[in-house]
Amino acid sequence: MNISLTFYSTPLWFGFIQGWIYAVLLWYRSRQNGRLSDVLLGLVLAGTTFSIWEYMLGFSGINVLWEELEFLPRGFGFAFPPLCYFYFKSQTDSHFRFSRKDIRHFVPFIVHTVYHVSVFAMGRDFVQYWKKNVHSTYGINHIEFFTGIVLQVWYFYHSLKLYRQYRAWTKTQFSDTEAVSLKWYRNFLIVLAIGLLADWLHILSSLLFDLTFEQDWWDNLVTVFLIYYVSIAGYAQMQPARNIVFNETTETTQPIENDAETAIQDYSLWKAKIDKLMRENRPYLQPELTLADMAQQLKTNTSVLSGVINGVYKKNFNDFVNEYRIEEFKRQIQSPQNKHLTLLAVALDCGFNSKSTFNRAFKNATGTTPRDFLNGLGSPVPKQSASVS
């Protein structure tokens, strides 16, 4: 078998090989670390490579897919959108494992595969007859096409929804949301959106202009760039130090459910306990403080504590803790013994663990920047503090 490496085939071969190398690396790492998310991201990469291999082989002069394997499924197809969705679920819930009920997400893929394999098994002559007299005549090809579009939109929407719910949930559980923000997945969703847009533009162009095989190549080239980004960035992403357990049914706030008089008494009692803890133990100085950590110190559960913070202080956990850190920063930055420290150094001593988190929290709480705050006090800004605005 002669492989022709041309201007059109070579980039596709590079993308195909790149995707499979990183898929194997992810699967190997999953065996070492037991991360289901690595398994699923490897499958996502493998599925993406199958979306370009038809053109890759065609431009290389290999026609086996059309001559010997006509009508046989050539990729993940309908399984690809739910794989992307479950990849994110496994990222946000370290306890997530597939169950029987999850099979329903792959029913379209199973039906499509069984249908195509059954027809293919009848032989080449039957395949040609079926395609001409049944598959196209009765619009099965159009049903498959629009089913694919619906699945892409459906699972992209639910992936985006899950991401937004997760980001809102982290603010109720963590004092430092930067470490668990999963910004990589936000970028992954952007990449998926670019891929979908490129596919739809390609489909529209094909319908309007009857593109040639060479003109179709550009859509595959976009996919190659996406493979390179997803493989490198996805493999290198930082994993949260803590095990995250989040699902779509998790409530972001859970107020105490009692009658009005009892609730007021409970809130007053818990407010006194929380104020005393924050004043005497100063847990907010711990950069990685979580709702669970604080609930353990108060000898209660996260549901009660979350409800009290939301009901009494009218804040989520992240804002509640950061306001204490900001007040601590205001005290320390005006202390003569800290004159030699930069603003960032003081902020780190107050429980913040990054410049961006500190600046954002300070601006949200005070409406001004740390530098402007000091200027307003008439205090000199440390010369070394250029790292903090």
Write the pLDDT tens digit of every residue in 117-126: 999 999 999 9
DSSP reduced 3-state for 160:
helix
Q: What is the percent of the chain where pLDDT is above 70? A: 91
Average pLDDT value over all residues in the chain: 88
Q: Is the pLDDT of residue 257 over 60?
A: no
Q: What is the percent of the chain where pLDDT is above 90? A: 60
Given its phi and psi angles, is residue 368 left (phi above 0), alpha (psi -120 to 50 degrees) or beta?
beta
Determine the pLDDT at residue 258: 47
pLDDT band, very low/low/confident/very high, at 160 (cuts 50, 70, 90): very high
Determine the pLDDT at residue 265: 56
231 and 264, same domain (yes or no): no
pLDDT band, very low/low/confident/very high, at 386 (cuts 50, 70, 90): very low
Q: Is residue 354 in some structural domain?
A: yes
Boundary of a domain, candidates 236, 270, 290: 236
Cα(166)–Cα(246) distance, integer angstroms: 7
Determine the pLDDT at residue 217: 87
Mean pLDDT of 291-301: 92
219 and 258, same domain (yes or no): no
Q: Is the pLDDT of residue 379 over 80?
A: no
Cα(380)–Cα(375) distance, integer angstroms: 7
DSSP H helices, the chain, are: 9-33, 36-50, 53-59, 64-67, 80-92, 107-120, 124-130, 140-173, 183-209, 213-236, 260-280, 291-297, 302-312, 317-333, 343-349, 355-366, 370-377
Cα(72)–Cα(385) distance, integer angstroms: 64
DSSP reduced 3-state for 342:
coil
- What one-letter code names the amino acid at 152? Q
pLDDT band, very low/low/confident/very high, at 159 (cuts 50, 70, 90): very high
Q: Is residue 247 in some structural domain?
A: no
Q: How many CB atoms lie within 10 A of CB 374?
A: 19
68 and 172, same domain (yes or no): yes
Mean pLDDT of 104-112: 97
Tokens found for residue 202: 């390609």
* Residues contacting 25, CB < 8 A, separation 6+: 42, 235
Mean pLDDT of 158-171: 93
The domain of 304 spans 253-314
Boundary of a domain, candidates 236, 261, 296: 236
Q: Is the pLDDT of residue 152 over 90?
A: yes
pLDDT band, very low/low/confident/very high, at 112 (cuts 50, 70, 90): very high
Q: Is residue 154 in some structural domain?
A: yes
- What one-letter code names the amino acid at 115? Y
